[in-house]
Chain A
Amino acid sequence: DIQMTQSPSSLSASVGDRVTITCRASQSISSYLNWYQQKPGKAPKLLIYAASSLQSGVPSRFSGSGSGTDFTLTISSLQPEDFATYYCQQSYSRGITFGQGTRLEIK
């Protein structure tokens, strides 16, 4: 299986900050990379698909970039509702895998 490694595992930031989360694949996955947001007790929400395409209804402060093995999720100006856990997920191989998650906390 393709291993997905996110960094950092946790992050403290303030409202208005610019935040970047990194995801690295153990082998090239082209652009087959999605990002999800999950709040406590809730189901995940798709934010970004195909590495850089914004899912309908997701605010434009979220953006994704990268291809091959290295990817980033950027939140340009943190809002109170953005404090959550973020997961990357590869859909390149038949065995889908997620990163371990990045918990974004209020500083």
Chain B
Amino acid sequence: EVQLVESGGGLVQPGGSLRLSCAASGFTFSSYWMHWVRQAPGKGLVWVSRINSDGSSTSYADSVKGRFTISRDNAKNTLYLQMNSLRAEDTAVYYCARERGYSSGGYYYYGMDVWGQGTTVTVSS
């Protein structure tokens, strides 16, 4: 079964750090680009970060750039999100998601086709 399982969430004080993990199983993890997406309580989905299949290329939302770092360990089939200088507005459920690519008419489209169940991060004093 294709599965993503997040862990590492919890309560942290403003200015603190947390590292989230996302364990992948049931597919060849090293072949896929991966994402982190978050959702504040009662709010919509917000993309956080993306990493390519070998970890050599990353991108971030402006709101987390310079504070968050995405990485992966393909030998361990695990995706990470290191979160530093946390703020109250970082409080959210964090999902990891697999990117699935589709080629059509010479163009590359992609969507997030497999998602974890999410892990909750609460930033509060």
Contacts and interface: CB of A to CB of B under 8 A. Distances in A.
Interface of A: 1, 30-32, 34, 36, 38, 43-46, 49-50, 53, 55, 87, 89, 91, 94-101
Contacts of B116: 43
A94 B100 CA distance: 16
Interface of B: 35, 37, 44-47, 50, 59, 61-62, 95, 100, 102, 104, 107, 109-113, 115-118
B44 to A, nearest CB: 5
A87 B45 contact: yes
A49 B109 contact: yes
Given A44-B115, A50-B104, A91-B111, A36 B45 contact: yes
Given A95-B62, A98-B46, 15 more contacts: A31-B107, A32-B109, A34-B111, A43-B95, A44-B112, A46-B111, A46-B112, A46-B113, A49-B110, A50-B102, A53-B104, A87-B44, A89-B47, A91-B109, A98-B45
Nearest to B4: A43
24 contacts: A1-B62, A31-B107, A31-B109, A34-B111, A34-B112, A36-B45, A36-B112, A38-B45, A44-B95, A45-B115, A46-B100, A46-B112, A49-B102, A49-B109, A49-B111, A50-B102, A53-B102, A53-B104, A89-B111, A91-B110, A91-B111, A94-B59, A95-B59, A97-B47
Contacts, number: 65
Contacts of B59: 94-95
Contacts of A50: 102, 104, 109, 111
A32 B61 CA distance: 18
The B interface, classified by DSSP as helix, strand, loop or mixed, is: strand
Contacts of B107: 30-31
Contacts of B47: 89, 95-98
Contacts of A100: 44
Contacts of B62: 1, 95
